Amino acid sequence: MALTNTNVDGNVGTITLNNPEKRNALSDALVHEVVEGLRDFSARRLRAVILRAMPGVKVWSAGHDVGELPEGRRDPLGWDDPLRHLIREIEDFPAPVIAMIEGTVWGGASETVFACDLIVASPEATFAVTPAKLGVPYNVTGMLTFLNAANIRIVKELLFTAKPMTAARAERAGAINYVVPAAELESFTYGLANDIALLAPLSIAVMKEQLRVLSGAHPVSPRGFERVQGLRRTVYDSFDYGEGISAFREKRRPVFRGE
Ligand code: YXS
């Protein structure tokens, strides 16, 4: 059964997350469908893509599929993790990817949204970044996605509180572009996409890639990178990581020990 719907109208493509039973969790299967949709849109040389959920949804996406996270002793967000693939496909897509947000956004889905080029949200939308809820050591490029989306004060608030941030606050922080009443969200977002689609696609594609290269240009020494990876390993090898994953699966509150 399809976990997403795709649609093309002129030079604008739409990918709709459609797995409400699992609150559009970013499972390997769902991410695969989104990536295939983006690759098809790229082959068709579409000039803008809208990434959305079904109209009126309460949960845009519940984030990484916790059921697919390793129990421990393995990096939960390594290079080949589905979420990492999805982020890179969005960043590499040769035209603007616009996130149209209704409902709540969680964990890796918040990074997915922040990796998009433009974000339009309804006033009821919220964004939560949840590694600290589960004891997950987020990865380096993921940290960069957040740092490129908002200033470090806002990033620390999102990461250290794991609490949902309202669309209004996210807009004030510059982390999202527009907050639009739900009734106007679709017409506004498609108007934006169609305006972009009338402009020079090669110019936009090159400027998008330039910005990707420049925004990713943070010098980290090999020693610095290995230190970060070593620290992350102490987290995903910890009791707390296993406790966070188990508590989610057992639908109970985790009791973290700091070890
Ligand atoms: O019990 P069933 O089989 O009906 O399934 C339930 C949930 O288990 C499932 N589900 C998920 N399955 C896998 N991964 C998920 N992230 C996930 N979220 C939900 O969907 C079915 C309905 O869930 P339920 O009953 O809780 O729905 P609800 O409407 O009462 O509440 C919706 C949420 C989103 C508030 C609630 O499901 C929730 O809090 N989900 C987890 C949000 C979250 O913490 N996501 C972070 C995932 S980990 C991640 O993204 C990164 C690795 S990190 O943590 O580092 O950011």
DSSP 3-state of 168: helix
Q: Which parts of the chain have pLDDT scores under 70?
A: 1
User: Phi and psi dihedrals of 163, rounded to 5?
Assistant: -90, 150
108, 135, 142, 244: the catalytic one is: 108
Residue nearest to atom 15 of ligand 1 (CA): 65
13, 37, 63, 64: the catalytic one is: 64
DSSP conformation letters of 195-233: HHHTS-HHHHHHHHHHHHHHHT-----HHHHHHHHHHHH
pLDDT at residue number 145: 98
Residue nearest to atom 22 of ligand 1 (CA): 22
pLDDT at residue number 167: 98
| The two three-digit tokens of residue 83, written as one number | 């979420």
130-179 pLDDT, tens digit each: 999 999 999 999 999 999 999 999 999 999 999 999 999 999 999 999 99
Query: 61 has which bridge partners?
Result: 105
Contacts 24+ apart (CB under 8 A), 243-252: 243/135, 244/133, 244/134, 244/135, 244/136, 245/66, 245/69, 245/71, 245/72, 245/134, 245/135, 248/66, 248/134, 249/66, 249/67
Amino acid at 47: R
Decide: 135 and 241 in contact? Cβ < 8 Å.
yes
C-alpha 110 – ligand 1 centre gap (Å): 13
Distances (CA, A) of 5 to 9, 19, 30, 123, 144: 13, 10, 11, 24, 29
Active site annotation includes 135: no
Active site annotation includes 191: no
C-alpha 198 – ligand 1 centre gap (Å): 39
Q: Mutate which of 65, 66, 250 to test ligand 1's pocket (most atoms within 8 Å of Cβ)?
A: 66
Atom of ligand 1 nearest to the CA of 77: 52
Q: Which of 96, 10, 91 is nearest to 50 (CA)?
A: 96
C-alpha 66 – ligand 1 centre gap (Å): 7
C-alpha 24 – ligand 1 centre gap (Å): 9
Active site annotation includes 85: no
Q: Would you put residue 151 in left (φ > 0), alpha (ψ -120 to 50) or beta?
A: beta
User: Phi and psi dihedrals of 108, rounded to 5?
Assistant: -60, -20
Domain at 4-183: CATH architecture: Alpha-Beta Complex (3.90)
